[in-house]
Structure 1
Amino acid sequence: MAVEETETDSKTFGNAEKDFVALGIAIAAIILFVGTGSSVLPRAIDAVFSGGKEPERLLVSALLLNIALIIFGWRRYRQLSYEIAERKRAERQARELAEIDCLTNCLNRRSMAAATQRLRKTASERGQAVAYTMIDLDNFKQINDMHGHSVGDQVLVILAKRLKEELPDDAILARLGGDEFAFVVAYDLHQRRRIDDLVIRLFDQAILPFRLGNLVIDATMSMGVATDDGQTELNPTLDDATQLMHRADIAMYHAKKQGKNRYFWFEPSMENELRFRNELELGIRRGIVDGEFVPYYEQQVDIATGELVGFEMLARWDSPDLGVVSPEVFIPITEEIGMIAELSEKLMDRAFRDAQQWDESITLSVNISPVQLRDPWFAQKLLKQLVANNFPPHRLEIEITESCLHENVGMVRSTITSLRNQGVKISLDDFGTGYSSLEQLRSLPFDRLKIDRSFVRELRGSEGCSKIVDAIISLGRGLDLPITAEGIESEEILDTLKQMGNLKGQGFLYGRPENAEEVHARLKSMGLLSTTSDTAALVAENAAPNIIESTKTRASL
């Protein structure tokens, strides 16, 4: 549509330039002036200087009219020419604004497709292929959040300048939006290695530390490369530049998934993988609404006595289309698409109702995603949920991982404090695999440490891991923090842990995670179902006003 409008405007300007009406009026007036003047002027001169007969008044009037027409026609023609020149300049400027990114002076997404298609056509005529490369800065949002958008803009400007300096003169560079850039370069079909060399050079030069006054920002980038080279000839299946960009985007996404700060050439398997991920994403959104996700429960046992003391809730997804999907697969995707809070709330609602039927001495542990802890209202939402389900806060233990402590320690401390003030217990999960400092363990009010299963599983025949586990237990003893050992899968491991101290444990040795019905049957056989559920509900109901009032007070602060 924009192209059609531009062509129409150009035709209008061309017609205006070739419209000699105004100029014709002036020329006709000049011709009449010459004809009339040749008759009038000699008589007028003769009358003035020789006292001859005056020229006829009609001819004099015609002469004056011709002069007026000459002035009018010429001024109108000049004015029209000036207006056309101004409109052309404005159109050229508008076209540049529409096609150029105003921050970096690169092409923008709108113009990149057409420019790529033109380069493809030229390269094809020369027997060459083109490589389309997508570039994305890793964790650019953190730069904006920490230093402000003005600093982020400066980083983008410097990056664009560095890219231009390293790219060949005939390469096309565009900023597609945000921190996403793309460039297209032609290359010989048998010299694909040159593209690899170019990309590696960009990693070495374009991503050097960004120095902005006293501020130094380190960043990395991920790249994806796609080509219309079918190894020995041009690929006829790539009809336009949009498909080429799509493939490069898939390759870049693959680089992100593989750990960032790297690049990959597009391969068909990547597209299949992305398609499967999209199916998972759609399935997750639908499954949360349809109740396909259900809580399962893993036993937590006092290692010394063998007494069942609690359960850890685990999410399970039995999709009617995809079958049983592992939590290691769907949990990260759920976090990425922003659905983890909704999923967690639905699972906890169900778990609270299930746990109301258990003996009051049995606790419920729930894992909390780092994404949820970024919500400043998480504690209030969880306490409100406890009240709505009449579940006593002292029976709940939430588990957070060490990675949560490095994103926003202040917010995590506030959340933990709010929950503990209402009786909720807080465990530091997967201890030993992250970067927790002794200062954080000392200052943050944790109630329990959980040793990661990777250490516990290796206790059998591994002296090194035995020393690590023993050191963690000693640390917990020194900080007066109870310890839970995960991943107990053999009697040998259990016997080793018994010698290390009074611990709580969980693992397949005690049984696989079970659904609500299986847990209910187990507890019934053990005589551990609640006999005072009505009393517990009444206590929770009476505690509700205090919890809500305390929550409102903290929120106002």
Structure 2
Amino acid sequence: MPGTDDNSSADPAPAQTQPTNRFGKAERDLLALGIAITATVLFVGTSSSALTQVIHQIKGIGLGPDLLLTNALLLNVALVIFGWRRYDELCIEVRQRRSAEARARQLAETDPMTGALNRRSIGPATDALITACAARGEVAAFVMIDIDHFKQINDFNGHAVGDRILVECARRIRAALPEEALMARLGGDEFACVIPFATHAPERIDHVAGQIIDLIAAPITVDDFNGEVTASVGITRSDRQNRLGTGPADAAGLLHMADIAMYNAKKQGRNRYFWFENAMESELRYRSEMEVGVRQGIARGEFVPYYQPQVDMGTGRVLGFEMLARWHSPVFGVVEPDAFIPIAEEIGVIAELSEGLIARALEDARGWDPSLTLSVNISPVQLRDPWFAQKLLKLLTASTFPANRLEIEITETCLHQNVAMVSTLITSLKNQGISVSLDDFGTGYSSLSQLRKLPFDRIKIDRSFVTALPRDDDSQTIVSTIAALGAGLGMPITAEGVEDEAVLAQLAQIGSFRAQGYHFGRPVDAAKTRDLLAAQGLLVAAHGDTHLAAQGEAPDAPAPAIAPEPAATPQRRSA
């Protein structure tokens, strides 16, 4: 489950107490009280006799109080003072001990930062509320809430700001809950709520879930952070059967189901809620198997680079290739990156996977004609690595691949995350001679000012606009506008998604671009790519000059053109 190790709220450990003799304490308390009472009784007895003798002496009757009796009286006075004072101290100690125990119990059951229940206490509280609901003929909804991209907020703004954002989110969640609901912080950026509702009125929970999402999404201003956060919400209800089908689920089972529904909300785009369905658990089990497979596949070298040609649209001349990842899994078959890249990013292995693929691609591309370029997509996760440029330079050095033949593609959606860091990375890459292109242009949040300030070398039009050219006037307008923008900024354009002759014809009416798509060739592995280049005379051996390949110098003769493939059914682009 998405989850985070930042701002984690570990439940406090139970207080470690030494073994105590409760009977011994009681005996001491009774002893002190007994001393006080006995001394008081003796004081009453001796003081009556002693005082009577004192009075008689004052009246001139008798010899006065006996010395022994006077000492006994004074001793009784001391014992009375000691006994009652000690008993009072013991009473104060008992009250303090009870107060400390209550405080320790509170700390053990609540989250100190938000004041909500914690993971330890929400379970028993949920079971108790479910029992109370059943007695009234109601059910309870278990609601799991996870703050989206919270780790990035922590990384960019610091844990102090992250803590204050969590406190504000907790306040907003609490404001959306009815009075009888429970609320807990499970740790990190995860919250849980338990809300009673009538069996026939689940729309009440829909309303609360929607209100929670809307309240959290409202702008937050904390120190230097001024922005919006979103939340993904998963919901289940207490009358669902447990996983064995033997009865209603308990608190632990409800948490598990709500967590699965919350993960489904994240997968569907975040900032939304879903009710749990049984199919979600099967899908999660499949994902778990995929996670294990990805980790093992990296170690076994099952991820391999494929290459799709990029050509000059006017002449058909091959200009280079884009590297596209494929997973040759012994369990799942050949898997495209849309399936495994998000998993690799979430489990933290995307950098290892990507660097391994880039290293293999650089080795493959060394044998190509030195006029051909290699384009590589990098993950947004890698953009947050301040050492990425140095790691890439190390790969280039190890493979002796010329930096000026490598092009790094950064997706447009990365720009709004941290423009300053992206700018630093682009500058560092360009200082090494590497070209940088803005990928999927038109689908993200980049502005003209960002395009002017960030030193991109190329713009890639997102395939969704290109493939729709023959049937969508709006796409034609967008592509024409992007082409004019590129010309104005002095940036060459790559059009991806050229799937057939009709798209190519429409694109030709707008301008001349570097193009790629199924019309020019499908992604194929390194061996088939070499066969294709050999047939076109585009391997280093075909020119008989390996020195040119090492220096990255282009030969004088133009490269032959590549023949278009027959029209193919458009498919999703594999990044």
TM bin (shorter chain)? 0.7 to 0.9
Q: How many angstroms does 1:55 deviate by?
A: 5.3
Q: 1:298 to 1:66 in 2, by over 3 A?
A: same
Shifted more, 453-462 versus 360-369: the winner is: 453-462
Task: Confirm or deny that 1:287 pairs with 2:297.
Answer: yes
What aligned pairs does 1:3-402 form with structure 2 within 5 A after superposition? 12=22, 16=26, 19-47=29-57, 49-50=59-60, 52-53=62-63, 57-140=67-150, 153-203=163-213, 208-210=218-220, 217-230=227-240, 237-402=247-412
Q: 1:72 to 1:515 in 2, by over 3 A?
A: same
Q: 1:501 to 1:198 in 2, by over 3 A?
A: closer
Residue in structure 2 matched with residue 544 of structure 1 by the alignment? none
Q: 1:14 to 1:223 in 2, by over 3 A?
A: farther
Equivalenced residues, count: 537
What aligned pairs does 1:464-483 form with structure 2 within 5 A after superposition? 464-483=474-493
Q: How many angstroms does 1:163 deviate by?
A: 4.1
Q: How many angstroms does 1:351 deviate by?
A: 0.9
Preserved contact between residue 29 and residue 67 of structure 1 (Cα < 8 Å): yes
Task: For residue 399 of structure 1, give the secondary structure of its aligned residue in structure 2.
Answer: strand
Q: Output the CA distance in 2 between the equivalents of 1:472 and 1:168.
A: 51
Shifted more, 8-17 versus 434-443: the winner is: 8-17
Q: How many angstroms does 1:473 deviate by?
A: 3.3
Residue in structure 2 matched with residue 453 of structure 1 by the alignment? 463
Preserved contact between residue 17 and residue 81 of structure 1 (Cα < 8 Å): no
Shifted more, 311-320 versus 165-174: the winner is: 165-174
Task: For residue 406 of structure 1, give the secondary structure of its aligned residue in structure 2.
Answer: coil
Preserved contact between residue 238 and residue 249 of structure 2 (Cα < 8 Å): no
Q: 1:13 to 1:499 in 2, by over 3 A?
A: farther
Percent identity at matched positions? Answer: 55
What aligned pairs does 1:451-530 form with structure 2 within 5 A after superposition? 451-460=461-470, 462=472, 464-498=474-508, 500-530=510-540
1:491-541: per-residue Cα shift (whole Å, max 9, x none)? 34334445554433222223322211222233333333224446745889x
Q: Output the CA distance in 1 between the equivalents of 2:513 and 2:221.
A: 51
Q: Output the CA distance in 1 between the equivalents of 2:259 and 2:177.
A: 19
Q: 1:158 to 1:471 in 2, by over 3 A?
A: closer
Residue in structure 1 matched with residue 447 of structure 2 by the alignment? 437
Task: For residue 347 of structure 1, give the secondary structure of its aligned residue in structure 2.
Answer: helix
1:30-65: per-residue Cα shift (whole Å, max 9, x none)? 333344445544345435543524555444443333
Task: Confirm or deny that 1:418 pairs with 2:428.
Answer: yes
Q: Output the CA distance in 2 between the equivalents of 1:274 and 1:158.
A: 31
Residue in structure 1 matched with residue 4 of structure 2 by the alignment? none
Q: Output the CA distance in 2 between the equivalents of 1:213 and 1:330.
A: 37
Q: 1:147 to 1:237 in 2, by over 3 A?
A: same
Residue type at the aligned position of 1:377: W
Q: Output the CA distance in 2 between the equivalents of 1:201 and 1:499.
A: 49
TM-score (norm: length of structure 1): 0.85
Unmatched segments (≥5 aa) in structure 2? 1-10, 554-575
Q: Output the CA distance in 1 between the equivalents of 2:408 and 2:428.
A: 13
Q: How many angstroms does 1:349 deviate by?
A: 0.7
1:142-199: per-residue Cα shift (whole Å, max 9, x none)? 6666776666555544544444444332222223334433221223333333333433
1:309-347: per-residue Cα shift (whole Å, max 9, x none)? 322111000212222222111112222222221111100
Q: Output the CA distance in 2 between the equivalents of 1:9 and 1:226.
A: 43
TM-score (norm: length of structure 2): 0.82
Q: Output the CA distance in 2 between the equivalents of 1:415 and 1:97.
A: 45
Task: For residue 222 of structure 1, give the secondary structure of its aligned residue in structure 2.
Answer: strand
Task: For residue 359 of structure 1, give the secondary structure of its aligned residue in structure 2.
Answer: coil
Shifted more, 149-158 versus 131-140: the winner is: 149-158
Task: For residue 107 of structure 2, give the secondary structure of its aligned residue in structure 1.
Answer: helix
RMSD of aligned C-alpha atoms? Answer: 3.5
Shifted more, 37-46 versus 24-33: the winner is: 37-46
The structure whose residues are more often helix, as a share, is: 1
Unmatched segments (≥5 aa) in structure 1? 541-557
